[in-house]
């Protein structure tokens, strides 16, 4: 069976049955036109280096952001708000942001309790072009779902939402548009750099939309807040994925509600282990390297007890619950753990942890594995590792 030639995507129904019986089944399917090569975008679109590497074959004529040729571009495609993207907004250009640094709710619903994904609404809006969506999260979007930002986060309350989800972490923005400085922004956390047909087609629609007269955002983005958030995300290299956790919860932080893995001194949550981002390939073995991640410390009213931070199986430094900026050092002074407290309530705090270790303990180009092990004192004091960005 051959699919019909299409000029636009279509949702269809595939039905199969056994001849001579009443056995029948059917499935939703989405059909896309076969596009070998997109139309050239000569002189109109500039892209950041990573976006350019992913899309150069798809869009002939893309120019590299930051080069003289990019100065004439009407549209900027970027995966982070580098200085050139901010400059484009200040000059009144249109910017498409293809990555959001916040929670990734996924598509799985909760089981015994509310999960991060309890439903996502998609506006009937020209930004999505002719993509055949139902106004809610269906299978068409499953492979595209990525990062978000929280609707209530500082600086984002006034943007214009185009795709919004809800769940344990509250309302999450998957796609939004806004005025920013003198320019206009379309921001998306969807995975649009892949070669999946739905991703490629939707990026086509976004590009066509931001170059059209219909791109008229009514909301506004607080540029200063977003810039600080992006700068923070770029500075964090101490977490990439959690490898072992006895308890994972949604909990407040200075960045809003985030997922957190907990190590507690009661004995039930014995430790948390995680991988960092890869260390630089060119690492001076005689120097040091610093990892930074978002952490929480809590239940200060409980009896004091230590937590031990390990690199693999090697003990590095001990620390305790704190509600202010604090520094701990190893016995030989070669390892330094600093806690930069950002928010405090009655019993808990959250902030940035900075671990500085001798570079000789690390493998250039590889991820390090860190582990926090609490002393089993029976206290309810806890260490929390937040999943960010």
The predicted pLDDT at position 283 comes to 82
* Mean pLDDT value across residues 360-365: 93
Report DSSP state, residue 303: P
In the block, residue with structure tokens 């089981």: 111
Q: Sign of the CA dihedral 51, 57, 61, 63?
A: positive
Q: Which residue has the higher pLDDT, 333 or 346?
A: 333
Backbone angles phi, psi at 309, to 5 degrees: -100, 125
Q: Which residue has the higher pLDDT, 382 or 103?
A: 382
**Contacts of residue 387, Cβ cutoff 8 Å, sequence gap at least 6:** 103, 239, 242, 258, 259, 260, 261
Q: Are 300 and 320 a contacting pair, CB within 8 Å?
A: no
Q: Does residue 232 sit in helix, strand or coil?
A: helix
Partners of 47 in the β-ladder: 64, 77
The predicted pLDDT at position 3 comes to 67
Tokens representing 251?
A: 């909990």
Q: Tens digits of per-residue pLDDT, 208-248?
A: 999 999 999 999 987 777 677 778 888 999 999 999 998 88
Share of the chain above pLDDT 70, in %: 96
Distances from the Cα of 164 to the Cαs of 19, 97, 175, 201, in angstroms?
A: 44, 17, 7, 20
Q: Sign of the CA dihedral 258, 261, 263, 267?
A: positive
188 has pLDDT over 60: yes
Considering the entire predicted model, what is its pTM?
A: 0.70
Q: Are 291 and 389 a contacting pair, CB within 8 Å?
A: no
Domains, in order of start, for the chain: 45-233 (3.40.50), 236-386 (2.60.120)
CA distance 45 to 48: 10
Q: Tens digits of per-residue pLDDT, 111-121?
A: 777 778 889 99
Backbone angles phi, psi at 229, to 5 degrees: -65, -45
Share of the chain above pLDDT 90, in %: 53
Q: Sign of the CA dihedral 191, 197, 202, 203?
A: positive
CB atoms within 10 A of CB 161: 19
The average confidence (pLDDT) of the chain is 88
Q: Helices 83-90 and 223-235, interaxial angle, to 10°?
A: 170
CA distance 24 to 262: 49
| Residue whose C-alpha is closest to residue 121's, from 181, 161, 159 | 161
The predicted pLDDT at position 38 comes to 60
Give the pLDDT band of residue 84 (cuts 50, 70, 90).
Answer: confident
The predicted pLDDT at position 139 comes to 92
42 has pLDDT over 70: no
| Residue whose C-alpha is closest to residue 273's, from 135, 146, 372, 381 | 372
Q: Tens digits of per-residue pLDDT, 269-291?
A: 789 999 999 999 988 777 899 99
């Amino acid at each position: 069976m051959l699919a019909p030639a299409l000029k636009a995507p279509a949702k269809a129904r595939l039905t199969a049955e056994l001849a001579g019986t009443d056995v029948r089944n059917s499935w939703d399917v989405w059909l896309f036109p076969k596009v070998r090569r997109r139309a050239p975008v000569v002189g109109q679109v500039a892209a950041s280096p990573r976006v350019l590497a992913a899309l150069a074959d798809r869009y002939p004529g893309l120019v590299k952001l930051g080069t003289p040729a990019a100065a004439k571009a009407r549209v900027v495609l970027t995966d982070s708000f580098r200085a050139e993207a901010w400059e484009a907004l200040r000059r009144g250009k249109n910017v498409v942001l293809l990555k959001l640094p916040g929670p990734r709710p996924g598509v799985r619903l909760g089981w015994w309790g509310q999960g991060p994904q309890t439903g996502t609404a998609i506006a009937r809006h020209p930004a999505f072009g002719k993509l055949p969506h139902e106004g809610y999260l269906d299978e068409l979007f499953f492979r595209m779902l990525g990062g978000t930002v929280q609707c209530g986060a500082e600086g984002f309350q006034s943007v214009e939402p185009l795709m919004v989800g809800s769940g344990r972490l509250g309302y999450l923005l998957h796609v939004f548009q806004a005025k920013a400085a003198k320019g206009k922004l379309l921001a998306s956390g969807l995975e649009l750099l892949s070669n999946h047909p739905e991703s490629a087609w939707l990026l086509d629609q976004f590009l066509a939309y931001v170059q059209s007269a219909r791109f008229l955002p009514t909301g506004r983005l607080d540029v200063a807040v977003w810039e600080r958030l992006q700068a923070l995300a770029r500075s964090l290299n101490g977490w990439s994925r959690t490898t072992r956790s006895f308890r994972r919860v949604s909990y407040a932080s200075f960045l809003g509600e985030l997922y957190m893995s907990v190590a507690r001194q009661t004995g039930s949550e014995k430790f948390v282990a995680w991988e960092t981002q890869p260390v630089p390939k060119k690492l001076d073995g005689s120097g040091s390297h610093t990892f930074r991640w978002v952490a929480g410390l809590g239940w200060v009213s409980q009896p004091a007890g230590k937590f031990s931070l390990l690199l693999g199986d090697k003990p590095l430094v001990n620390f305790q619950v704190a509600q202010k900026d604090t520094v701990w050092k190893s016995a030989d002074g070669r390892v330094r753990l600093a806690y930069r407290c950002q928010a405090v309530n009655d019993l808990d705090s959250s902030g940035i942890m900075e671990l500085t270790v001798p570079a000789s303990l690390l493998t250039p180009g590889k991820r390090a594995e860190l582990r926090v092990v609490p002393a089993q004192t029976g206290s309810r004091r806890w260490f929390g590792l937040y999943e960010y960005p």
